Amino acid sequence: MNPGHKPPRTWGELHALAMASGSAFPRQLALLVDFALQHPDIMAFGTCSSIARRAGVSATTVSRLAGVLGYRSFRDLRTLFRDDLVRRGGARSLKAQGKAVRQRTSPGRPAQECQGRS
């Protein structure tokens, strides 16, 4: 966990924090951290509720993770993943990646942001 420290600025810093924290995260947060590290594209472009559905946790847990890591909001956490995708580049543009992820994660459902800390 990251109380009183600056939030991770890169995917690598987040990964290092998750490895160093080990079992310090409660079960639901640990599930979400594992999901986030394995699916950075979904974290970068998904909504709070679509991420929660895919990770098997509640939308509140997604919002809570941002605070536990030291971010002011879910949007700030999501920015970490977007910035990392930009740094890594790729064959498709960032906009195209976002469109593809949104189509896979929320068919026919309106986008909803996290409540409270968003």
| pLDDT tens profile 44-102 | 999 999 999 999 999 999 999 999 999 999 999 999 999 988 888 753 555 555 555 55
In a domain, 118, yes or no: no
The predicted model scores a pTM of 0.71
The first and second tokens of residue 37, run together, are 């590290």
**Is 114 part of a structural domain of the chain?**
no
Domain harbouring 77, CATH code: 1.10.10.10
Count of structural domains, the chain = 1
Tell me, yes or no, whether 83 lies in a domain: yes
Q: What is the pLDDT of residues 4-49, one digit of tens each?
A: 578 998 888 888 988 887 668 899 999 999 999 999 999 999 999 9
Burial of 88 (0-12, 13-18, 19+ CB in 10 A): exposed
**Position 3 in a domain:** no
What are the tokens at 69? 């890591």
Residue 30 domain-assigned (yes or no): yes
Residue 88 lies inside a defined structural domain of this protein: yes
Q: Count Cβ atoms within 10 A of the Cβ of residue 1 and give its class: 0-12 exposed, 13-18 middle, 19 or more buried.
A: middle
Domain that holds residue 58: 11-105
Question: Nearest to residue 97, comparing CAs of 82, 115, 113?
Answer: 82
